C-alpha cells in the first residue's frame, strides 16, 4: 500500500474552465439559459474532485504462474485490488519484442487480469513491466504514474524427438544400454571359448562341450569345458560444447553490437539450446552420461552424469549460456573426459570453434560439429554490407568444408520444421562405423 496524491486531470480542468466561462458569460450578457449550461460542468468537476482517491492506492501485484516456461506462450497474472475513491485504473503493459498494450480497467472490485504473449526465444527474460495510474469518479483526478517492475522468467528450449544418435569410439562403464567390444555380462553372443578361471558355471555350453569331446578329430579332452561368452554392455559419455561467444539472428543487419536480434526470430543460441537439449534428453533416456562445456565462459564444466535431475541441471546451464563481452581467446581446448563423444554447437563464424574441434579429434575423440547459424536474410543490406557478408560466408563455407577432412563430422540444425534434416543426418552417423 502506497499513499499517493491525486491531481486533477486535463479533462476535469477543461470542464471546470468551460463551466466557469459559461456562467460568467451568461451573467454578463443576462442569459440565464447559457449560465445554466455551465452549472453541470462545474458540478461534475467539483463532485469528482471531492471524491478523488484519498486513501492509499494498492499497488497491483504481478506474479507468474511459474518462473520456468517452455518456448511458446509466456503467461502471468496481474491482481488489482479495489480502493476507496478509485473508479478505474489505467495500465500500460510491455513485453519483449511487442508494442506496449494500454487498457483502462474498472476497479470497483478486485480484478485479476491474465497477461500473455508468444515468443520463439529461450533463456532469461524480464517480462511484463507495468505502468499504472488510478482515477477517481468522472476521471476528475488521477494519481501520478507508478511502475511495477518486470518479473524474470526462464524460457527452456523445446526438445525434438530423435531416432538414433551416434556413439563415441570407445564405450565406458560396467553396464549400460550399448554392446561394447569386450567380453562380459551382456546379451549378444561374442564367441564360444574354453573355460577359464573366473567364468561362471551357468555359462557352460554343454552341447558344444559334448560335441567337441565326442569328435574323433577334434583333439579335445573330456576335461575341456566350453563357455558361451557375450559382449559386455556399457554406456556412452557425451560432452555437449556450446559456443556462446556470439548470438546472431536471421537478419544480417543486426549482427554486431549496435542492434539486438528481433524477439520473434530464433537466434543461433536459441537453435543451439534446442539442439543440445534434444540430444541431452535422448542420451540420458538411454542411460548414457552427458556433460556440458561452454566456450564463451571459463567456469567449471558440468561433469558427465545421468538421470532426470541431471537433465534439469543441463537445461539450466544452457539457459545461462549467453554472450558476455569479449571472451578471452583460449590457448588450449578445454579438457574433456577420455573417450567422450564431443558435440560442438557453433555458428563457425571464426576459426576458434573449428580449431577446437580439430584438436579434440586429433586427441582421439569422436567430434560432431552442429552448425546452428540461422538462414541469413540479406534483403535490407547496403552494398558494402552485402560485400562484407559475402566474404564472411565464403570463409565460413571453406571452414566447414575443412572439418570433414580432419575427421570431424558436420550436421546442420534448422530452427523450424517438424522433422529436421539433422535427425536424419544423426541417424546416418549412428550407423556409420567410424574408427580412430
* Cβ-contact 273, 233 below 8 angstroms: no
Question: From CA 218, how far away is CA 215, in angstroms rounded?
Answer: 5
C-alpha of 192 from chain center: 51
User: What is the phi/psi pair of residue 42, to 5°?
Assistant: -65, -40
For the stretch 310-361, pLDDT in tens is 999 999 999 988 887 776 677 777 888 888 899 999 999 999 999 999 999 9
> What would the grid cell of residue 357 be?
574441434
Number of Cα atoms under 13 Å in the Cβ half of residue 381: 18
Q: Give the mean model confidence (pLDDT) for residues 236-260.
A: 83
For the stretch 65-115, pLDDT in tens is 666 667 677 888 888 888 777 778 889 998 887 888 888 888 778 888 888
Contacts of residue 170, Cβ cutoff 8 Å, sequence gap at least 6:
339
Average pLDDT score over the chain: 79
pTM: 0.75
Q: Using 50, 70 and 90 to split pLDDT, how confident is the model at 408?
A: very high
User: What is the phi/psi pair of residue 228, to 5°?
Assistant: -90, 120
More confident residue, 265 or 240: 240
**Domain spanning 61-156: which superfamily?**
Immunoglobulins (2.60.40.10)
Instruction: State yes or no: pLDDT of 297 exceeds 90.
Output: no
Q: Give the mean model confidence (pLDDT) for residues 248-253.
A: 84
> What would the grid cell of residue 399 be?
571452414
CATH code: domain 237-430 is 3.40.50
* Cβ-contact 18, 39 below 8 angstroms: no
Question: What region does 202 belong to: left with phi over 0, alpha with psi -120 to 50, or beta?
Answer: alpha
Domain residues of the chain, as ranges?
A: 6-50, 61-156, 178-234, 237-430
For the stretch 120-176, pLDDT in tens is 888 888 888 999 888 777 666 677 788 888 888 888 888 888 888 888 887 665 444
What confidence score (pLDDT) does residue 215 get? 61
Amino acid at each position: 500500500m502506497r499513499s499517493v496524491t491525486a491531481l486533477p486531470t486535463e479533462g476535469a480542468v477543461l470542464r471546470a474552465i468551460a463551466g466557469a466561462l459559461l456562467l460568467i458569460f451568461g451573467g454578463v450578457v443576462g442569459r440565464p439559459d447559457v449560465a445554466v449550461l455551465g452549472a453541470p460542468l462545474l458540478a461534475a468537476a467539483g463532485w469528482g474532485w471531492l471524491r478523488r482517491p484519498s486513501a492509499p492506492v494498492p499497488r497491483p501485484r504481478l506474479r507468474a504462474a511459474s518462473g520456468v516456461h517452455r518456448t511458446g506462450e509466456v503467461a502471468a497474472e496481474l491482481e488489482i485490488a479495489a480502493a476507496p475513491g478509485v473508479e478505474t485504473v489505467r495500465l500500460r503493459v510491455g513485453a519483449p519484442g511487442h508494442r506496449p498494450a494500454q487498457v483502462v480497467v474498472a476497479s470497483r472490485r478486485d480484478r485479476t487480469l491474465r497477461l500473455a504473449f508468444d515468443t520463439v526465444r529461450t533463456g532469461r527474460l524480464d517480462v511484463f513491466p507495468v505502468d499504472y495510474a488510478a482515477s477517481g469518479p468522472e476521471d476528475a483526478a488521477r494519481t501520478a504514474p507508478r511502475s511495477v517492475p518486470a518479473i524474470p522468467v526462464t524460457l527452456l528450449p523445446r526438445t525434438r524427438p530423435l531416432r538414433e544418435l551416434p556413439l563415441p569410439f570407445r564405450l565406458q562403464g560396467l553396464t549400460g544400454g550399448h554392446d561394447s567390444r569386450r567380453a562380459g555380462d551382456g546379451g549378444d553372443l561374442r564367441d564360444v571359448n574354453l573355460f577359464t578361471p573366473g567364468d561362471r558355471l551357468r555359462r557352460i555350453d554343454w552341447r558344444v562341450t559334448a560335441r567337441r569331446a565326442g569328435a574323433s578329430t577334434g583333439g579335445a579332452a573330456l576335461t575341456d569345458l566350453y563357455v558361451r561368452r557375450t559382449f559386455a554392455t556399457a554406456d556412452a559419455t557425451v560432452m555437449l560444447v556450446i559456443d556462446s561467444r556470439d548470438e546472431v539472428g536471421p537478419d544480417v543487419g543486426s549482427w554486431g553490437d549496435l542492434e539486438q536480434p528481433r524477439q520473434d526470430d530464433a537466434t543461433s543460441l536459441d537453435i543451439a539450446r534446442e539442439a543440445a537439449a534434444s540430444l541431452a534428453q535422448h542420451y540420458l533416456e538411454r542411460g548414457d552420461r552427458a556433460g556440458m562445456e561452454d566456450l564463451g565462459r571459463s567456469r567449471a564444466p558440468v561433469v558427465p552424469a545421468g538421470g532426470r535431475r541431471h537433465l534439469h541441471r543441463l537445461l539450466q546451464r544452457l539457459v545461462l549460456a549467453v554472450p558476455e563481452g569479449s571472451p578471452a581467446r583460449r590457448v588450449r581446448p578445454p579438457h574433456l573426459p577420455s573417450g567422450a563423444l564431443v558435440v560442438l554447437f557453433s555458428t563457425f563464424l571464426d576459426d576458434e570453434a573449428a580449431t577446437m574441434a580439430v584438436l579434440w579429434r586429433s586427441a582421439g575423440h569422436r567430434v560432431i560439429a552442429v552448425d546452428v547459424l540461422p538462414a541469413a536474410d540479406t534483403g535490407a543490406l547496403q552494398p558494402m554490407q552485402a560485400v562484407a557478408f559475402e566474404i564472411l560466408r565464403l570463409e565460413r563455407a571453406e571452414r566447414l568444408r575443412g572439418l570433414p577432412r580432419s575427421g570431424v563430422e558436420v550436421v546442420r540444425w534448422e530452427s523450424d520444421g517438424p522433422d529436421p534434416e539433422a535427425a536424419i543426418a544423426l541417424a546416418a552417423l549412428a550407423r556409420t562405423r567410424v574408427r580412430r
